Amino acid sequence: MDFDRHPCFNAGLRHSTGRIHLPVAKTCNIQCNFCNRRYDCVNESRPGLTSAVLSPFQALDYLGAVLQKIDNISVVGIAGPGDPFADGELTLSTMNMVHERYPDKLLCVATNGLALAAYAERLAELGVSHVTITCNAADPEIGGKIYAWVRYGPRVYRGREGAALLLERQIEGVKILKSLGITVKINTVIVPGLNEAQAIQVAEIMAGLGADIQNCVPMIPVAETPFEALGSPGAGLMTGLRLEAGKYLKQMSHCGRCRSDAAGLIGDQNQAGIAGLLEEAGTVKPSAGRPCVAAASREGLFVNCHLGEASSFHIFALEHGRPVLREQRPAPAPGTGEARWEALADTLDDCFAILCGDCGESPRRILEKRGFALVRGEGLIRDIAGFVLKGKKVPNIYQVKPGRRGAGEGCAGYGAGDGCGA
């Protein structure tokens, strides 16, 4: 395989060879003070934005549809909207499916590096050739002002402590990647008046670890963030920083600050029709082999139950344009850990979606890997199932924010697995 076909690492290809980002990374394990992923405008290009978040199966369908329209894509990457290793199993599942179906495509990942080390060897096994790590500070005192918090394992770290932990994990990640022969790019977001000198220190440290290239990225001020009023560093400042950092590490200067759903050439907006393909791929809809939805319900009338607290599931299908109850199936007994959710997937093998008040991360990960869409909502089953079975978006009036305590009357969990009875 020609590893020089990556347009982010080979500037000579930027006008002829494209890349695609599959937006499957839903969550993030750090909070940067310049990042706000809540709003999306198709005319705005910056990291963290996407018009839809896809499951691995949806991402594979979307990739196939895009490749029929754009024939010069050489790279398939995952770069958000969150961090790929905040849920590493989902990322690896997506990469594995892409590699099996499109073995000629280069695979790459962009991450903050916090949880990278635990997955690095598996990335190499999958043939991932390029990894980008965003490192914004070599001094934890400065880093502590850039990151609001860092979540690692069960703990949340703030300030200098969080930044020091993040830097430690980034360094460990780079070491492992280079020992595995993977090309490494270091992104450094330049925050005016805060970390300009840090970019040079980061370049020196990462060059010593064997990193291949650095991309100094001017911060884009984003509304409703702590750094919204700082402005963006000017071209003169960026040129000077790249010259100084370039004394240690080769510099990239053609970055398009791509969206998490970017497709095509670097710097170009997505082609007409790509947004429609993304929306279509993100639509939850039935298939010939999986025509039903399952509802977590206490009495069979309402979606009002946390996934882990459901003792049974009501199975609905569309008949003559209306959702009709077909049967009620018992849920696997709690107490078996992840095996419980594998058993549930087998029990609901004719369903493409599961309607519930909320669910924990472990069941979500396992069930999505098995091809299920988890639709969180509250209301009459027939109302919600009617939209889902017809491939329509569930109106906001029925939707439940993931992780909201009390989703469903008497729910004991936060949607993080603590009340799922696993």
pTM of the model: 0.76
pLDDT score for 324: 95
Q: Is the model's pLDDT at 412 over the cut of 50? A: no
- How far apart CA 80 and CA 63 sit, in angstroms, is 16
Same domain, 250 and 366: no
187 domain-assigned: yes
| Claim to verify: residue 217 and residue 92 sit in the same structural domain | yes
The tens digit of pLDDT for each residue in 84-96 reads: 999 898 899 899 9
pLDDT at 364: 86
pLDDT digits (tens, 9 = 90+) for 24-65: 988 899 999 988 866 455 445 566 667 778 888 889 989 999
Q: Residue 266 sits in a domain of what CATH number? A: 3.20.20.70
The verdict on residue 413 lying in a domain is no
CA distance linking residue 297 with residue 116, whole number of Å: 38
Give the pLDDT mean for 102-110.
Answer: 92
**Sorting pLDDT into bands at 50, 70 and 90, what band is 322?**
very high
- Report the alpha-carbon distance of residue 91 to residue 56 in Å, rounded: 8
The share of the chain scoring above pLDDT 90, in percent, equals 55
Domain end, chosen from 262, 281, 300, is at: 281
Residues 168 and 25 in one domain: yes
Residues 330, 310: contact at Cβ < 8 Å?
A: no
Q: Is the pLDDT of residue 413 over 80?
A: no
Q: Does residue 174 share a domain with residue 309?
A: no
| 345 and 250, same domain (yes or no) | no
Q: Supply φ then ψ for residue 282, to 5 degrees.
A: -80, -5
Residue 149 forms part of a structural domain: yes
For the segment 116-137, the average pLDDT, to the nearest whole number, is 94
Which of 194-208, 222-236, 261-275, 400-414 has maximum average pLDDT? 194-208
> In this structure, what CATH number is given to the domain that contains residue 378?
3.30.420.130
Question: Within a domain: residue 409?
Answer: no
- Let me know if residue 95 belongs to a domain: yes
What is the average pLDDT score of the chain? 86
Q: Which domain holds residue 34?
A: 3-281
Same domain for 159 and 34: yes
Q: Which of 369, 367, 340 is nearest to 354 (CA)?
A: 367
266/298 same-domain check:
no
Closest to 263 measured CA to CA, from 58, 67, 127, 16: 67
Same domain, 179 and 212: yes
- The count of domains in the chain is 2
Helix (H/G/I), strand (E/B), else coil: 377: strand
Q: Which residues pair with 187 in a beta bridge?
A: 134, 215
8 Å CB contact between 392 and 280: no
Do residues 275 and 300 both lie within one domain? no
pLDDT-derived band at 2, boundaries 50, 70, 90:
low
% of the chain residues with pLDDT over 70: 86
Cα 101 to Cα 56: distance, rounded to the nearest angstrom:
13
247 and 297 part of one domain = no
Q: Are residues 98 and 151 both part of a single domain?
A: yes
**DSSP H helical ranges for 129-234:** 140-146, 159-179, 196-209
Averaged pLDDT, 75-87: 90
Judgement on whether residues 259 and 296 belong to the same structural domain of the protein? no
Please tell me the predicted confidence (pLDDT) of residue 418: 32
